[in-house]
Amino acid sequence: MPFIETDDGIRLHYRTEGSAANPPLILSNSLGTDLRMWDGQRDLFAERFHLIRYDVRGHGASDAPPGAYRLDRLGRDVLNLLDALEIHTVTWCGLSLGGMLGMWLAINAPHRVTRLALCNTAACMPPKTMWDERIRAVGERGMGAIAGGVLERWFTAPFRASGAPEVAAVEAMLLATPPAGYAGCCAAIRDMDQRRALADIGHDVLIVAGRDDPATPPDKAEEIRRLVPHAALVVFERCAHLSNIEQRDAFNRTVLPFLAQSLDG
Task: Convert the pLDDT of each residue in 250-265 to its tens digit.
Answer: 999 999 999 998 665 4
- Residue 178's CB is within 10 A of a number of other CB atoms, namely 18
pTM, to two decimals: 0.97
pLDDT, tens digit, 9 for 90 and up, residues 32-73: 999 999 999 999 999 999 999 999 999 999 999 999 999 999
Cα gap 254→172, rounded to integer Å: 28
Residue 134's Cβ-count burial label (10 Å; 0-12, 13-18, 19+) is buried
**Best CA proximity match to 245, nearest among 177, 193, 168, 191:** 168
Cα gap 256→220, rounded to integer Å: 22
Residues 6+ apart with CB under 8 A from 154: 170, 215, 240, 241, 242
What is the rounded average pLDDT of the residues 217-243?
98
Cα gap 69→192, rounded to integer Å: 11
Overall number of domains in the chain: 1
pLDDT, tens digit, 9 for 90 and up, residues 87-142: 999 999 999 999 999 999 999 999 999 999 999 999 999 999 999 999 999 999 99
Domain range for 59: 3-264
- Please report the beta strands in the chain, taking only residues with DSSP state E, as ranges in sequence order: 3-5, 11-17, 24-28, 50-54, 90-95, 113-119, 205-210, 231-236
pLDDT attached to residue 264? 58
Cα gap 197→214, rounded to integer Å: 25
CATH number for 127: 3.40.50.1820
What is the rounded average pLDDT of the residues 211-237?
98
